[in-house]
C-alpha cells in the first residue's frame, strides 16, 4: 500500500475557475450539457413526466411506442418514459446523498487522522482496514439481510462503505499537506484544529477531492442500481432505474428494448461524470493518491 510521490500543489490557482473554462473542449462541454439536463430531470420530474409513475395506462405489456406513451409501456402497462424520469430522480438523489454522506464522513475523519496522527490515526486506519477486508457487496448484503432495505439503511450502509475509500484518499492528501510550512504557521498562531482543517487543508486538497467526489458518485449510482436490480435496493412500487431493469427483464424475450432504457440512462450519467473527472484531473494536473 504505497502512496504516490506527494504532489503538494493540489490547490486550484486563484483564477482556477477561469482557467478551467478556458480549457473546455468538446467532450467536457457535452458532459456538462448532459449533466445539466439530468439535473433538470431530477428537479422537475413530476412536471416533465407525461403520466404518473404508477398509473397503469393499458392492459398490454410492452406495447410499442405511440403518441401517448413515447417509449411504450412496461410489463404492467405503465408509461416507460414517465417511470424513467421518476426512476432517475430516485436513483440519482439516493446516489448523491450517499456520496455526500461518504464525503463528509471520510474527509473529516481522514483529515482528523492526518492532523492528530498517533493512536487516533491507528485506530481509525485499522477500522477502515477491517471494513476494506470485505468485498463491498458482501457488507451491503449482510446489513440488508438483518435490517431490510429501506432508503435510510441503503444510504447509510453504502455511504459507510464509500467513506472508507474517501478516508484513505483524504488521509493521504492530508499527510502531504500537514507537513507544509503554512500548517506549521497556523499551529504556531494557535489556530484550532477545526479551523486548520477547514481553512488550510480543505482548500489545498480541493481539486483531487472534487475528482474523488465524482468517482464516488458514479460508484454509488452503479452500486445502488445493482442492489435494486437484485431486488434488494429501492423497493418495487417506487420507480428506480435498477428496479426498472429487473421488472422488465422478461421483455427481452419479446424483443422489446424496455429493460435497455433504464440501463442506458445509468450509463449516460456515469459515463459523463467519469469523462468529466478524467478531463478535470488532466487539466488541473491534480493527482489522486494511487489506487490502493
Partner 1 sequence: MTLLRLIVQRLLLGVAILFVVSALIFIGTEILPGDVAQAILGQGATPELLENVRIRLGLHDPAPVRYFRWLGNLLSGNLGTSMVSGADIGQLLGERISNTVMLASATALIAVPLAILLGLLSAIKPNSMTDRAISAVSLSLISLPDFLIAIVLVMVFAVKLGWLPAIANLRPGQDFFTVARMLVLPVTVLVFTVLAHMVRMTRTAVINVLSSPATEMAILKGVPRWRLLLVHALPNALAPIANVVALNLAYLISGIVVVETLFNISGLGRLMVESVTTRDIPVVQVCAIIFCAVYVLLNLLADIVAIVSNPRLRYPK
Summarize as ranges the residues that interact with partner 1 (CB under 8 A). 130, 133-139, 141-148, 218, 222, 225-226, 229-232, 242, 245, 249, 252-253, 255, 257, 259-260, 263-264, 266-267, 270-271, 273-275, 278, 290-292
Residue closer to partner 1 by CB (options 101, 245) is: 245
SS3 at position 63: coil
Q: Which three cell numbers stand for residue 64?
A: 410499442
β-pair partners for 79: 73
H or E stretch covering 283: helix 260-284
DSSP 149: -
| 8 A C-beta contact, residue 253 and residue 131 | no
Residue closer to partner 1 by CB (options 197, 244) is: 244
Minimum distance of partner 1 from residue 289's CB (angstroms): 11
Residue closer to partner 1 by CB (options 115, 160) is: 160
Q: Is the dihedral of CA 211, 213, 219, 221 positive or negative?
A: negative
| 8 A C-beta contact, residue 242 and residue 226 | yes
Residue closer to partner 1 by CB (options 197, 277) is: 277
Residue closer to partner 1 by CB (options 39, 267) is: 267
CA distance 273 to 265: 13
Minimum distance of partner 1 from residue 152's CB (angstroms): 13
CA distance 125 to 143: 22
CB atoms within 10 A of CB 255: 7
Residue closer to partner 1 by CB (options 66, 290) is: 290
Cell 477491517 sits at which residue? 130
Minimum distance of partner 1 from residue 145's CB (angstroms): 4
Where are any strands of DSSP class E within the chain? none
Minimum distance of partner 1 from residue 260's CB (angstroms): 6
Minimum distance of partner 1 from residue 292's CB (angstroms): 7
Minimum distance of partner 1 from residue 127's CB (angstroms): 11
Q: Which three cell numbers stand for residue 271?
A: 459515463
Amino acid at each position: 500500500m504505497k502512496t504516490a510521490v506527494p504532489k503538494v500543489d493540489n490547490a486550484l490557482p486563484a483564477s482556477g475557475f477561469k482557467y478551467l473554462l478556458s480549457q473546455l473542449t468538446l467532450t467536457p462541454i457535452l458532459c456538462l450539457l448532459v449533466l445539466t439536463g439530468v439535473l433538470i430531470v431530477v428537479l422537475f420530474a413530476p412536471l416533465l413526466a407525461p403520466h404518473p409513475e404508477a398509473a397503469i395506462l393499458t392492459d398490454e405489456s410492452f406495447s410499442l411506442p405511440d403518441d401517448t406513451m413515447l417509449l411504450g409501456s412496461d410489463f404492467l402497462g405503465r408509461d416507460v418514459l414517465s417511470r424513467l424520469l421518476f426512476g432517475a430522480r430516485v436513483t440519482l438523489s439516493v446516489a448523491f446523498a450517499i456520496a455526500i454522506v461518504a464525503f463528509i464522513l471520510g474527509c473529516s475523519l481522514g483529515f482528523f487522522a492526518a492532523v492528530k496522527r498517533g493512536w487516533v490515526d491507528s485506530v481509525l486506519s485499522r477500522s477502515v482496514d477491517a471494513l476494506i477486508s470485505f468485498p463491498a457487496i458482501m457488507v451491503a448484503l449482510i446489513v440488508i439481510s438483518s435490517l431490510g432495505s429501506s432508503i435510510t439503511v441503503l444510504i447509510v450502509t453504502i455511504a459507510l462503505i464509500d467513506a472508507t475509500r474517501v478516508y484513505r484518499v483524504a488521509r493521504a492528501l492530508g499527510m502531504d499537506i500537514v507537513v507544509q510550512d503554512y500548517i506549521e504557521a497556523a499551529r504556531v498562531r494557535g489556530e484550532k484544529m477545526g479551523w486548520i482543517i477547514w481553512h488550510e487543508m480543505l482548500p489545498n486538497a480541493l481539486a483531487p477531492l472534487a475528482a474523488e467526489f465524482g468517482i464516488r458518485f458514479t460508484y454509488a449510482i452503479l452500486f445502488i442500481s445493482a442492489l435494486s436490480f437484485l431486488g434488494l435496493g429501492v423497493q418495487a412500487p417506487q420507480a428506480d432505474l435498477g428496479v426498472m431493469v429487473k421488472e422488465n427483464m422478461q421483455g427481452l424475450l419479446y424483443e422489446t428494448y424496455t429493460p435497455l432504457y433504464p440501463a442506458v440512462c445509468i450509463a449516460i450519467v456515469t459515463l459523463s461524470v467519469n469523462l468529466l473527472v478524467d478531463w478535470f484531473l488532466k487539466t488541473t494536473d491534480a493527482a489522486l493518491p494511487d489506487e490502493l
